[in-house]
A = this chain, B = another copy of it.
Amino acid sequence: MPGRGPIDEPVPEHCALFTDLYELKMAQSYVAEGMAETAVFSLFVRRLPEERNYLLACGQERVLSLLENLRFDEEDIAYLRSIRQLDPGFVDWLRAFRFHGEVYAVPEGTPVFANEPIMEIVAPIAEAQIIETLVMNEVTLATVLASKAARVVTAAAGRTVVDFAARRMMGVEAAVEGARAFYIAGVESTSNVLAGKRYGIPVAGTMAHSFVQAHESEAAAFRAFAENFPGTTLLVDTYDTMQGVRSAIALATDPERPIEIGGIRLDSGDLGALAREARAALDAAGLQAVKIFASSGLDEYRIADLVAAGAPIDGFGVGTAMGVADDAPALDIVYKLCAYGGRGRTKLAEGKPIRRGRKQVFRHREDGQD
């Protein structure tokens, strides 16, 4: 099972107003009715996506930080007055809003299955209601992405996986929180510098095709870049891949001014065949230490195929498919009231079994296997 433990969470931005309007309306009604007893809400996934046989629970640490810092500021209050859908007295009540509840959760990076609580919120009902949207959103974001990344890491079977997804993800926050989720799932480093800063994740990256194109020749681009960054990886497929490999070899074995090359990156074509051909050429030139990295539309299936075929690839840069979890970008996640005032509550609906009240998860071994 891939995965790391949780990593540090800085104080996050202000987002008390990130809630569905109906949460505030329900809270207003609870306050007006004097309904202030403790509610238990359970956050779980009703069904695993078809393409997943487990999820890697993630995002709980961020939820805790967000809840600790949740405040409605005067700008929020002014906006809520302006929409004229809430009672002014209730809007004033929000000024003093703090989350006083208790949160129970499985640790980040824990594999979870359908109908197992990822998190349980125990709090006065209005408080538990107001935070629903935020809690669901953050756990969804991180769990969807960690779960996809865990599959990619498993497929890579010990080879390096680097997160290249920043440009294709759903905004800056998704990319930064996603890089953290990927890291928890076992991804080794990220191209995303802001994620590196915020979470101390190792950052990696070298050059793009545009860099080669901007120079008069590929060889000139390689030399300029490697002089700036000795030991770097060179992107060899801008024009003709094997010609690019030969240019890299020429640079590393230049009898006059050799420059150390750490690796080459293949970003198009038949990655398996090109990796084999490049490996042979590098080895023949005595460059056994130069690594081969591959990118270009990779996901767990393509990586598994390359690994199974014995392609001599040392690491994979994975972008779009991991960045948006393209085959399962959402979860059927719910935040269900399971008790109020100490009494179990349930909604009846066909095909949706729910156990009332608070839960405890047990794992048992089957035939001596975890």
What is the interface of chain A, defined by CB distance below 8 A to chain B?
Answer: 13, 15, 17-26, 28-30, 32-33, 35, 39, 41, 75-76, 79-80, 83, 85, 87, 125, 129, 132-134, 136-138, 140-141, 144-145, 164, 166-178, 191-194, 196-197, 203-214, 224-225, 228-229, 232, 237-240, 268, 320-321, 323-326, 329-331, 333, 335-337, 340, 345-349
Instruction: Tell me, rounded to whole Å, the shortest Cβ–Cβ distance linking A197 to chain B.
Output: 4
Q: What are 6 A-B pairs at a CB distance below 8 A?
A: A83-B196, A125-B214, A133-B192, A168-B330, A323-B330, A324-B324
Hey, which chain B residues are within 8 Å of A134, CB to CB?
Answer: 172
The residue that A25 contacts in the complex, of B33, B167, B213, B228, with Cβ under 8 A, is B228
Bound-complex Cα distance A333 to B173 (A)? 19
Instruction: Tell me, rounded to whole Å, the shortest Cβ–Cβ distance linking A30 to chain B.
Output: 8
| Contact A133 B173, beta carbon cutoff 8 Å | no
The residue that A205 contacts in the complex, of B25, B203, B329, with Cβ under 8 A, is B25
The residue that A83 contacts in the complex, of B15, B203, B325, with Cβ under 8 A, is B203
Bound-complex Cα distance A224 to B32 (A)? 9
A125's nearest neighbour on chain B, judged by CB, is B214
The residue that A15 contacts in the complex, of B194, B228, B238, with Cβ under 8 A, is B194
A79's nearest neighbour on chain B, judged by CB, is B197
| Contact A337 B194, beta carbon cutoff 8 Å | no
A176's nearest neighbour on chain B, judged by CB, is B18
The residue that A137 contacts in the complex, of B32, B167, B239, with Cβ under 8 A, is B167
| Contact A133 B83, beta carbon cutoff 8 Å | no
The residue that A168 contacts in the complex, of B79, B136, B323, with Cβ under 8 A, is B136
Q: Which of A141, A172, A178 has the most CB of B within 10 A?
A: A172
Hey, which chain B residues are within 8 Å of A346, CB to CB?
Answer: 213
The residue that A193 contacts in the complex, of B18, B125, B211, B321, with Cβ under 8 A, is B18
Known A-B contacts A85-B203, A141-B171; the reply to A329 vs B337 at CB < 8 A is: no
The residue that A26 contacts in the complex, of B138, B172, B207, B323, with Cβ under 8 A, is B207
The residue that A191 contacts in the complex, of B22, B125, B209, B237, with Cβ under 8 A, is B22
Instruction: Tell me, rounded to whole Å, the shortest Cβ–Cβ distance linking A207 to chain B.
Output: 6
Bound-complex Cα distance A345 to B172 (A)? 29
| Contact A20 B136, beta carbon cutoff 8 Å | no
Bound-complex Cα distance A35 to B211 (A)? 11
The residue that A171 contacts in the complex, of B75, B168, B170, B320, with Cβ under 8 A, is B170
Known A-B contacts A140-B167, A330-B324; the reply to A239 vs B348 at CB < 8 A is: yes
Q: Which of A19, A125, A228 has the most CB of B within 10 A?
A: A228
| Contact B324 A329, beta carbon cutoff 8 Å | yes
| Contact A170 B141, beta carbon cutoff 8 Å | yes
A235's nearest neighbour on chain B, judged by CB, is B22
| Contact B171 A137, beta carbon cutoff 8 Å | yes
A344's nearest neighbour on chain B, judged by CB, is B213
| Contact A177 B171, beta carbon cutoff 8 Å | yes
| Contact A169 B323, beta carbon cutoff 8 Å | no
Hey, which chain B residues are within 8 Å of A229, CB to CB?
Answer: 25, 29, 85
| Contact A18 B345, beta carbon cutoff 8 Å | no
